[in-house]
Structure formats: structure tokens, C-alpha cells
Structure 1
Amino acid sequence: MDVQVVDYSAADAPEKFVESLRETGFAVLTNHPIQQELVESIYSNWLEFFHSSHKHDFLFDPEKQDGFFPSDVSETAKGHAKKDIKEYYHIYPWGRVPEELNAEIRSYYKQASTLAGELLKWVESNSPENVAGKFSEPLPDMIVDTPNTLLRVLHYPPFTGEEEPGAIRAAAHEDINLLTILPAANEPGLQVKMKDGNWADVPSNFGNLIINTGDMLQEASGGYFPSTSHRVINPVGGSQQNSRMSLPLFLHPRSEVVLSERHTQRSYLLERLKELGVI
């Protein structure tokens, strides 16, 4: 099964959406509530921020994990030796945001989080009874008043020819959280690893909303919903001159939420951040 493109407004959208998550770990929504004009404005305004020296005034806090992460401290995907070719900014409900960017990005955070709650309800409502019975509380409730949901503003810079050999924009990895909500980037490159081991492009027309399953939902569902590997490949040709902007919202439960007999949200997150080398 390929990643399904689902019309959010269709009557059977919840069933098709959850089936695609179950089979591929990904689903794509069209006709969704997130306004493309807002996304475009965020991409433009934050690209200006990343091109300025002002970003260094918000250097990340190693304890809190908010703020600006330069490319030299970027993530190294689990199982890889080379850092991704990217820089990014972490936004939490309690975190720092440049004043001139605050109102717009907070509005997006609120809108996307509201939609995320609805999508988690779709997931739970369309899970087999034995799977839904594993959830320690209703999935939408896990993110109510959570301080942990992370909005990452990502900038993949243009290529200069000085990139480390073998490094790519985002090496193959799985997300840590429940679900990731991702407006299509302004440039292509996102791929998912299918069941047959081949890599496939995720339908990423500008305006699409891409959702994928993370490790925490895989853990909470006893493996029913797979957290599948995905990556962002390097551009070719003229596209090498272009910045790529991306805006994933990583849905995280409250710290004390029980995911399984092995893990709470907090214990799982700490384990993965250590693997990534960011703490």
C-alpha cells in the first residue's frame, strides 16, 4: 500500500487516514483546516531569521532544549555517524521566541495542536478494541495541557559544496513522539521506507499536510501502528541553491503519561535524546 492522500472533508476520511498510518506509518491530508497562507508566511519570516545573526541571541538551552540549534550541533540520527545538514529552532508553550515572530508562530502552534487532538481521536476510534485497550488514557487526553509538544522550525540551507561527504539533509530516522503534523515543505526531498525496503517519495505537494506515526504511538499500541523510517534526501541540480523550510509539530504526551509497562513519556524521551546525542 502506498501512502494515502485523504480528503479531510470526506465522510470516510478517518478510516482511510488510520488505514494509511497502519500500513505505511504515514498519511497525507488535503482540504484540511491549516491555512496555506499562514504556512507560507511562517516559512518566509523564519527564513529571514535564519539568515540573520539575531538567531545566535537565542542559542539553545541544553537543559530545556528550547531555542536555536546551529548546524554544528544538529542531530545525528540514531545509527548514523554524520550530522544532518540543517539548523533549527525549538518552540515549546513555555519557551523563548523572538518577539517579532511570536504571535504568528503561536497561532500556528494552537491551530495545529487542535487539529492534532482530532486526529488522535480518529486513531483511537479506528483502532481494534484490543489495541485501544492498551492506551492508558484516551489518546487526545494525553496531550491536553502538555508542556512537551514541540514545534520545530527547520532550515535546510543551500548547498555550498563544502558539505561533509556522505552527510544528507536528514538521515533515515524515526520520530520519537505520538504523531507528527507536517505541512509540506517548500522544496521536495521527504521519503519514507516502505515494507519492501524501498524508499518512496511522500506526496508533498505544497498545501498538503503530512502526518506520521512516532515511536511513542508504536510503543503505546504494542506495535500496531508502525513508526517508519523516513529521510530528507539532498537536492540535485538547480535545487541545490534553494533553502528548504519545514515545520513539524511533534505531539508529546504529558511527562507522566504511561505508554507501556516499560515507559512513561519522560523515560522514553530521555532514552531517545541520549541516543541522538543532544543531551
Structure 2
Amino acid sequence: MSVDILSIDYQSNNCAKLLEKSLKETGFAVITNHPISHRLIQDVYFEWKSFFSAQLKHNYTFNSKEQDGFFPYLTENAKGSKSKDLKEFFHYYPWGQFPDSMSNQTKILYDQLVNLGSDILSSIEENFPKTVKENLHSSMKNMIHNSKNHLFRILHYPPVPKDSNLDSIRAHQHEDINLITLLVAGSEPGLEVLGNDLKWYKVDSNENNIVVNSGDMLKLATNNYYPSTTHRVVNPSKNENVSRYSMPLFIHPNSDAMLDKYTRADQFLNDRLKEIGLKE
């Protein structure tokens, strides 16, 4: 059995229906022929590679309350995992910390990904079954309108140390907390999803594509109609043990948005941040 993640032409007439189908069945979809410039993505990667290689990155150490800035190596663990992930990363918000030496390319890419994510969320909402639409506490459009919580996470997975514990991994299995995630292709392969048969399957890593997946908030808001599929980033082989870079954009609702009758988005998020070691 394999995970049938659809590869979808974003410019096609049936894009919205295929997105809804793939996310419903697998929690993932691969978008081709999208409007984001490949050159822009590569330029942003280039700048952040320089950032992670310099000690000045520690001048931007994250703010625990706001969750913006640089998160050092071995900071985060997956929910339920005792081992820290083998990664360092930077949380970019337009209102948060940002390296003085960087250009505005990151903000440009952020804005374009937010617009794309908003369009994708709206298009799949149009294809919600009637029962799902009727049970929404709030429309997706209202949930994310003018949200300041969309998070752009720039990740660096350094070469895996030879003395790492056997259970150490670049990103332990987890589910995303947000509504949907847009992931421009990583610099190296490694992303895997867990199938219903409890086997792991590699996800398309073509540099021209964007991977979309649904998260816990969408699962809750749609009363489990969409799954929040477990995924991970595995370690490279000894012959391919080089740095890996990745840039997911997490679409989040407004802080006061109600995911269901009882659950506010900000409380749901804060609880998870505590579980993964990013908040006390």
C-alpha cells in the first residue's frame, strides 16, 4: 500500500476539487505550476544559509512570549518525544525580529506564500461537504482575516553528528498544529508521511513544487473531516550527510478565532508550544 498524494497543477480548472480530495484522503497534496518564483525561493535560501553559518544568529535568540527569532540547535522536541530534534531554526513574522543584514526578499516570499495559502484555504472551503460547512464555528475566511499569526519557519538541519543517539532524528514524527502548511521544497530529501498501514512513505521533493498539508486546527474545525497526518524528517545516509534547509509557511487563524464551540486558537497553540518545549 502506498500513500496516494496527488500532484496537482495549480492553474488547472479542477485544482480546488483535487486539493480537497487529496487533503481529505491523505492530509497532503503537491502543488505544481504555482505562482511563486523559483528564483525568489532560491534567493531566500541563499540568504538564510549565510545567516545560519554565522555566530551573529545568536543575537536574535527567540523571545519565549512572542515566539519570534532564532531557536538554537536542540531546542524543540515533537509532542510526546523526549529527544530533541536535530535542527535549528528562525521564526519570521513581519512584526518580529529580523536580521539587519538581510534583504526584504524573505518578506516578499512570506507575503506571496500567505496569499497562496489563503487562496488554497478558500478554495478547499468552497468544496467542503454541506455537513462540514454547516458545522463550522466560523468560516475559514473569517478565521484568517488580517491574521498576524502566520508563521514562516526557516529551518537548518546540520549534518548529523557521528556521536548522535540512535533515536536522534532531524524531526521526530509529529502533526502540524495550524490550519494548513505550505512547504517549498527542501534543499535535500528527507520528508516522510505515515500511511494508514503504519508504513513511512517519501514525499515529493521536486524543487519546483510546493507541498500542502492540513493541520490539527483544520482537523478540529472540520470535526475530523480532514486528517492531520503524521510526518517526519529522517536522517540522511552517511554518504549524503550534508545540511538540509527547509521553509514551511504555517497558516494560522486569528488568536481569538474559535476552532469549535469550546476551543480558542491562541489557547490551543499555547498548549502545544508547552508540549514541544518552546514555552514554559
The interval holding the TM-score normalised by the smaller chain is over 0.9
Identity rate, percent: 42
Which sections of structure 2, spanning at least 5 residues, go unmatched?
none
The 3-state SS of whatever aligns with 2:102 is helix
The 3-state SS of whatever aligns with 1:99 is coil
1:202 match: 203
* Counterpart-to-counterpart distance in 1, 2:174 and 2:20: 21
The 3-state SS of whatever aligns with 2:115 is helix
Give the residue type in structure 2 aligned to 1:12. Answer: N
2:59 match: 57
What is the Cα deviation at residue 99 of structure 1? 2.5
Report if aligned partners of 2:67, 2:91 keep a CA contact under 8 Å in 1: yes
What is the Cα deviation at residue 102 of structure 1? 4.5
* Counterpart-to-counterpart distance in 2, 1:174 and 1:268: 14
The 3-state SS of whatever aligns with 1:133 is helix
2:159 match: 158
Given the alignment of the two structures, is residue 13 of structure 1 paired with residue 11 of structure 2, yes or no?
Answer: no
* Counterpart-to-counterpart distance in 2, 1:246 and 1:87: 11
2:150 match: 149
Given the alignment of the two structures, is residue 247 of structure 1 paired with residue 247 of structure 2, yes or no?
Answer: yes
Report if aligned partners of 2:187, 2:244 keep a CA contact under 8 Å in 1: yes
What is the Cα deviation at residue 62 of structure 1? 1.1
What is the Cα deviation at residue 93 of structure 1? 2.4
* Counterpart-to-counterpart distance in 2, 1:121 and 1:238: 43
Report if aligned partners of 1:136, 1:257 keep a CA contact under 8 Å in 2: no
What is the Cα deviation at residue 114 of structure 1? 0.5
The 3-state SS of whatever aligns with 2:29 is strand
* Counterpart-to-counterpart distance in 2, 1:72 and 1:10: 42
1:70 match: 72
* Counterpart-to-counterpart distance in 1, 2:105 and 2:247: 13
Given the alignment of the two structures, is residue 212 of structure 1 paired with residue 213 of structure 2, yes or no?
Answer: yes
Q: 1:80-99 counterparts in 2 under 5 A?
A: 80-99=81-100
RMSD over aligned CA atoms reads 1.1
2:49 match: 47
Given the alignment of the two structures, is residue 271 of structure 1 paired with residue 271 of structure 2, yes or no?
Answer: yes
* Counterpart-to-counterpart distance in 1, 2:184 and 2:148: 22
1:261 match: 261
Cα deviation 1:25-62 (Å, max 9, x = unaligned): 00000000111111111111101100001101101111
* Counterpart-to-counterpart distance in 1, 2:170 and 2:238: 15
* Counterpart-to-counterpart distance in 1, 2:165 and 2:51: 25
1:79 match: 80
The 3-state SS of whatever aligns with 1:111 is helix
Report if aligned partners of 2:153, 2:247 keep a CA contact under 8 Å in 1: yes
* Counterpart-to-counterpart distance in 2, 1:132 and 1:239: 46
* Counterpart-to-counterpart distance in 2, 1:49 and 1:223: 39
* Counterpart-to-counterpart distance in 1, 2:121 and 2:95: 23
Given the alignment of the two structures, is residue 184 of structure 1 paired with residue 214 of structure 2, yes or no?
Answer: no
* Counterpart-to-counterpart distance in 1, 2:218 and 2:102: 31
What is the Cα deviation at residue 18 of structure 1? 1.1
Report if aligned partners of 2:137, 2:261 keep a CA contact under 8 Å in 1: no
2:126 match: 125
Give the residue type in structure 2 aligned to 1:25. Answer: G
* Counterpart-to-counterpart distance in 1, 2:103 and 2:144: 22
The 3-state SS of whatever aligns with 2:172 is strand
* Counterpart-to-counterpart distance in 2, 1:50 and 1:227: 30
Report if aligned partners of 1:18, 1:123 keep a CA contact under 8 Å in 2: yes
* Counterpart-to-counterpart distance in 2, 1:102 and 1:218: 36
Give the residue type in structure 2 aligned to 1:255. Answer: S
1:170 match: 171
* Counterpart-to-counterpart distance in 1, 2:204 and 2:167: 25
Give the residue type in structure 2 aligned to 1:97. Answer: F
Report if aligned partners of 1:118, 1:140 keep a CA contact under 8 Å in 2: no
